Amino acid sequence: MDGPDIITADDSNFEFQVLEYSELLPVVVDFWAKWCLDCQRISETLESLAVQYAGRFRLAQVDVDNNPRLTTGYQVHTVPTLKTYENGTVTGQLEGVHTNLQIEEYIKGFVPGPEGLLLEKAASYLRDRQFISAEETCLEILEEIPDNPTARLLLAKSLLWQREYLEALTILHHFPASREFRAAEKLAPLAEHLQAASSLESSGNPLDAIYTRAGPDRE
């Protein structure tokens, strides 16, 4: 199955179709063999992912039996073997038999899904203090991926700046296990203070105002 995102690579075109092309996009090289049943399954999975991630990476398929120079030169000792090339060098490798899910996770490691750009957009809105736009962008992501931790953290921050303290606390108190968990854990006490201060400010008690001013700054 050849096309713009899926090609057959060999000794004659590897330098151009893989090494040079990897200056533009990541190229995943699938070293396979016709006699390898697991190779056929993994190749089909990779082809499906190349279609799914259209334009985000190129899949190059190399038949090891027909290309011994490439196989030896790139130290392919078993099939299937996947090697990822970026800017002309190998930046990732996966050897042996793996499940379809493991293959997909490998691809996701260097080819972000469509939510990647949206996350950058939300973070940019937050930096520019466009908090409503940041919130809307995060909700767009979470509609497709409800447990995306980065989107949830950005959403909580945008809500805090909009004084939507209870909504922010709900997110922070039910945060999924992830690399962002500690950041959410640290943010929760601030959100709790802001919620308490907001309630006290509306009470009209002058002592409450003193308590409010004594709290940490959101900056």
Beta bridge partners of 94: 82
**Reduced 3-state DSSP string for 98-118:** CCHHHHHHHHHCCCCCCHHHH
Catalytic residue among 19, 33, 36, 111: 36
Residue in 74, 78, 71 with CA at minimum distance from that of residue 95: 78
Active-site residue, 36 included: yes
Whether the ω angle into residue 80 lies within 30 degrees of 0, i.e. cis, is: yes
Beta bridge partners of 30: 61, 82
Query: Could you tell me if 32 and 39 are in contact, meaning their C-beta atoms sit under 8 angstroms apart?
Result: yes
Catalytic residue among 39, 82, 194, 197: 39
- Tell me how far CA of residue 77 lies from CA of 135, 165, 192, in angstroms: 49, 56, 56
Q: Which residues are catalytic?
A: 36, 39
